[in-house]
Chains A and B, each alone.
Chain A
Amino acid sequence: MVAEGALAAGCRFFAGYPITPASEIYEVMMHELVARGGLALSAPDEISSLCYCVGASLRGLKAMTATSGPGWALMSETVQYALMTETPVVIALVQRLGPSTGGATQGAQGDIFLAEFSTSGGYTIPVFAPSNAAECHELTQQAFNWSERLRSPVVLLSDKEVGMTTEPVEETALAKLVPVERTFVDAEAAIAAYDVSRVEDIPGFAPVGGGVKVTATGSAHDRQGRLRKPSPEVVDMLVHLQRKVEAHAAEMALVRSDLDPDASCLLISYGITARAAREAVRLLRNEGFPISFLQLQTLFPVPAEALHWAAAGIRTVFVAEENLTGQYRTVLAHLLNGKRLLGINKIGSMISPCEIVRAIRRAGGTIPRGDWPCTHSSDEAVRPSRKAGV
């Protein structure tokens, strides 16, 4: 469905390299994109995959690649290049159990930090996290649209369980977003490559090979795109790369909420764990336990306003995610001052609805704030990975 979403969004270029659990996207694109007149090809490594995509995007094509943690590690140089040169590109990152080769066929949500905090300078890369096939379809379109609008790399962060589980989708219910096309600058206009009047503006795009001269560089540059030592203008350009994303944070905030006005607890989750969380919420409510639920589809920029809205009047916030240290909980912590913030974490297999219910019941409002870093227990023991692979 990621591939279908990409096609619906107008993707015309794909370069891939096999890696479980992202290979299916690659295979589907090799068939479907070719059939629809786009170009899909195999690259000799993940560095090349993303470089090919960036090269094609510099010529004006919407481009995507798909990978998992080990491949993303190789791509991070080129992600930053795309960020610096303001080249739109979408990377579907299908998480598996890490670190290193990890468990190729085990799901995980352990790449939150890796996806978001791997740029030198700490820039915000938009990250969308689908939890099922239909959301893969919709959020891939969102990823493309925001990539084009912001002229930025965008990550679609799923995992093995979302990416490799077959489930039916109602075709008529699939979201069909209007594809956003990047704004091409007038061929007659002699403008600077990164001409923005305010730092948060997004410059028009001129394709390589077109009538307007392109000056692109991964080095710090002035408005003309020329490599320069830091000057106020160059620093402005560096600030611009961050501000242009922040300026659209509220618009990009996609969440699904299911709030209970009587609740003093809020459960937050995203991706595959949001599905178990939704069932857990149903089970708890059936028991008469009032609880609010917030699924985050946009992880970055952090949907702070939605969070504040959902957490109003809430005393305890649980964040359920399939990683060891509560990566996204850490990201949220500073936004939830004054509330008890507890993690429901596990690695090795999906967190089940019952495990979430147990963790929430156990916390029960009796444990003093700060004494509950996470809810590891013997019945949530980590199952060792039996397999490795590409």
Chain B
Amino acid sequence: MGNSTCLAGDAKLPYCRGCGHGLVVRQLSRALEALNLPPRSMVLTTDIGCVGLADSLFPYLHTVHTTHGRSTAMATGMALAEAVLPATGLKPIVMIGDGGAMIGLLHLVHAAQLNVDITVLVHNNFLFGMTGGQHSAFTPLDWITSTTPEGNRVPPLDLLSLLRMAHAGFLARQFATDSNLGEVIADAIAFPGFSLVEILEICTGYGGLKSEARSQLKTEAPSFPRKRESTGSALRDVVKRQGYSLGRIEAEPPRPSFGTIYRQQIESRNPVPENPSFHSPISSFQFPVSRSQDSKRLHIVIAGTAGEIVQSSAALLCRAALSVGLYSTQKNDNPVTQGSGFSLSEICLSPQPIEYTGMERVDVVIAASQEGWNELQANGTLSQLTSSTLLLLDAELEISHPTGRLIRQPFRRDATPKRAALAAIAFWLGMEPVVPSVAWDAVLASLPVERREDVSAALKVGQDLASRGGACAA
């Protein structure tokens, strides 16, 4: 009791008489019996459709009945979890129809790519049986269904070829009536990685009929034809017309699953060093702001060109401010693309915690490139300028006459374009020591060694320009 992986002994199958689904569950039961796996090491993950009725037939397996098409994705999640759990050898078996395979196609593709250890049994009867025989992406050409009254005109998907391209390791196509189906399913379950068996069936309720056959029937049988005479010949006909291969098809050579690779990766990792902690603030420092309205806050906009280290330079300013006990907020902006066009940062500095992070005025504008300046024009920043706004612009910029205290310096020329933004920041702080120069020492000490040289070089250019008396307004 409780240890059987098989169909319940007294199971009355819920499927229509003659439906291939009944054959599949019996063959699955045979396969599980042959594999002799503990029942709790398997989870039957069923999709929406008649195929979803399989849950109750296997009373000792875990069963998860999902939403339409998502059975593969949920099973993938369950299998992935194995990588960080004590290994249980859990094997999800997905029972899905052709409709589920269509709506959940991406989940099948990704499961194959990840090579998660799951087995998918696609019950392909070429249409939606439970909802009344509508056609699917797998319906053969010319088939008449309730939604293709003149015959299907869209060529069906070849699932196995598609998944082969997605690097699936085990792929097979069988008829539900195949006597060896159980062995193929057992092989698929035993396969360590993603395996899929596409099982071809004819829906006994709505099995399709080719349009020419229907026209023959038209005179004598005006009602919608519901059954085929012979499912065997219908299936053989589909396979022939679509050029499908049968049995196990050539697939990728065995490779480790994503979970296996992941487990190895985390096991071989060195312990992570803690984030370098940021030294205590210099508490004696007084925030020397006086010119802005509320005298408690400074709003700085730093604009430049993407790829020229604008936002990272702004972040260094925030770090410097933090090291002297100031609060800061930083917001970055750039176009849809990350590596072209403008790049900009809005910074707020305050000796008190900052609640509202927007700018109702601008105190300092730093523009390190033409693209940055143009963006400030486009985004309305320049319309916020007042006569007390400090404008610190690169000497090369072409500008009209903006409001504010204008200073132009050759940051790009002297420091290089990639150091221009930081040089300009250092220039500003040389001129208005909002943050004392000792703060830069703290910033440098917190940086990885390989970045320090670049940063000090940029800072030096800015500080030198400031000390050479460039601080007079242009």
Closest 5 CB pairs of A and B: A55-B77, A51-B73, A52-B77, A217-B65, A275-B355
Q: Digitize B315-348: 1 where CB-to-A-CB distance is under 8 Å, 0 elsewhere.
A: 1001000100001111111011000000000000
Q: Which one of A33-41, A254-262, A298-306, A334-342 is at the interface?
A: A33-41
Contacts of A43-61 to chain B: CB distance below 8 A: 43-45, 47-48, 51-61
Q: How far is the CA of A276 from the CA of B360 in the complex (A)?
A: 12
Does the CB pair A38–B55 fall under 8 Å? no
Q: Is B238 an interface position by the 8 A CB rule? A: no
Contacts of B289-337 to chain A: CB distance below 8 A: 315, 318, 322, 327-333, 335-336
Q: Which one of B103-111, B155-163, B244-252 is at the interface?
A: B103-111
Closest to B75 in A: A55
Q: Which one of A138-146, A150-158, A163-171, A235-243 is at the interface?
A: A163-171
Q: How far is the CA of A252 from the CA of B332 in the complex (A)?
A: 34
Q: Digitize B52-71: 1 where CB-to-A-CB distance is under 8 Å, 0 elsewhere.
A: 00011001111111110010
Q: Is B272 an interface position by the 8 A CB rule? A: yes
Q: A325 contacts which chain B residues (CB < 8 A)?
A: none
Given contacts A39-B81, A78-B67, A278-B355, contact A166 B330 (CB under 8 A): yes
Contacts of A214-247 to chain B: CB distance below 8 A: 214-219, 226-227
- For the A-B complex with A48-B106, A164-B331 known, give 10 more contacts whose Cβ atoms are closer than 8 Å: A34-B265, A41-B262, A51-B66, A55-B81, A209-B85, A209-B90, A213-B60, A216-B64, A275-B357, A354-B360
Q: Report, as a range, how many residues of chain A touch the other chain.
A: 35 or more
Cβ 8 A contact of A164, one of B40, B76, B272, B332: B332
Q: B75 contacts which chain A residues (CB < 8 A)?
A: 55
Q: A59 contacts which chain B residues (CB < 8 A)?
A: 77-78, 81-82, 85, 90
Q: Which one of A92-100, A110-118, A380-388 is at the interface?
A: A380-388
Closest to B331 in A: A165
Q: Is A128 an interface position by the 8 A CB rule? A: no
Does the CB pair A37–B70 fall under 8 Å? no
Given contacts A44-B109, A45-B106, A55-B77, contact A167 B65 (CB under 8 A): no
Q: B60 contacts which chain A residues (CB < 8 A)?
A: 213
Contacts of A264-318 to chain B: CB distance below 8 A: 272, 275-276, 278-279
Q: B318 contacts which chain A residues (CB < 8 A)?
A: 166, 168
Q: Is A370 an interface position by the 8 A CB rule? A: no
Given contacts A51-B77, A61-B81, contact A350 B358 (CB under 8 A): yes
Q: Is A15 an interface position by the 8 A CB rule? A: yes
Does the CB pair B78–A208 fall under 8 Å? yes
Q: Digitize A346-372: 1 where CB-to-B-CB distance is under 8 Å, 0 elsewhere.
A: 000110111000000000000000000
Does the CB pair A55–B40 fall under 8 Å? no
Q: Is B465 an interface position by the 8 A CB rule? A: no
Given contacts A44-B109, A54-B74, A213-B60, contact A168 B328 (CB under 8 A): yes
Q: Is A122 an interface position by the 8 A CB rule? A: no
Q: Is B41 an interface position by the 8 A CB rule? A: yes
Q: How far is the CA of A166 from the CA of B349 in the complex (A)?
A: 12
Q: Is A148 an interface position by the 8 A CB rule? A: no
**How many Å from the CB of B217 to the closest CB on chain A?**
37
Does the CB pair B73–A218 fall under 8 Å? no
Closest to B330 in A: A166
Cross-chain pairs A/B with CB under 8 angstroms, 8 sampled: A39-B262, A52-B77, A161-B357, A209-B40, A209-B43, A214-B63, A272-B357, A276-B356
Q: How far is the CA of A56 from the CA of B335 in the complex (A)?
A: 36
Does the CB pair A165–B330 fall under 8 Å? yes
Q: B360 contacts which chain A residues (CB < 8 A)?
A: 352, 354
Q: Is B83 an interface position by the 8 A CB rule? A: yes
Q: B90 contacts which chain A residues (CB < 8 A)?
A: 59, 208-209
Cβ 8 A contact of B356, one of A36, A52, A81, A350: A350
Q: Is A12 an interface position by the 8 A CB rule? A: yes
**How many Å from the CB of A257 to the closest CB on chain B?**
16
Does the CB pair A13–B76 fall under 8 Å? no
**How many Å from the CB of A355 to the closest CB on chain B?**
9
Q: Is B88 an interface position by the 8 A CB rule? A: yes
Q: A167 contacts which chain B residues (CB < 8 A)?
A: 327-330, 354, 357
Q: B447 contacts which chain A residues (CB < 8 A)?
A: none
Contacts of B216-272 to chain A: CB distance below 8 A: 258, 262, 265-266, 269, 272
Q: B258 contacts which chain A residues (CB < 8 A)?
A: 41
Q: Is A121 an interface position by the 8 A CB rule? A: no
Q: B84 contacts which chain A residues (CB < 8 A)?
A: 12-13, 37-39, 61
Closest to B311 in A: A166
**How many Å from the CB of A291 to the closest CB on chain B?**
15
Does the CB pair B73–A52 fall under 8 Å? yes
Q: How far is the CA of A85 from the CA of B55 in the complex (A)?
A: 15
Q: Is A77 an interface position by the 8 A CB rule? A: yes
Q: B80 contacts which chain A residues (CB < 8 A)?
A: 13, 39, 41, 52, 55-56
Does the CB pair B67–A389 fall under 8 Å? no
Contacts of A193-214 to chain B: CB distance below 8 A: 208-211, 213-214
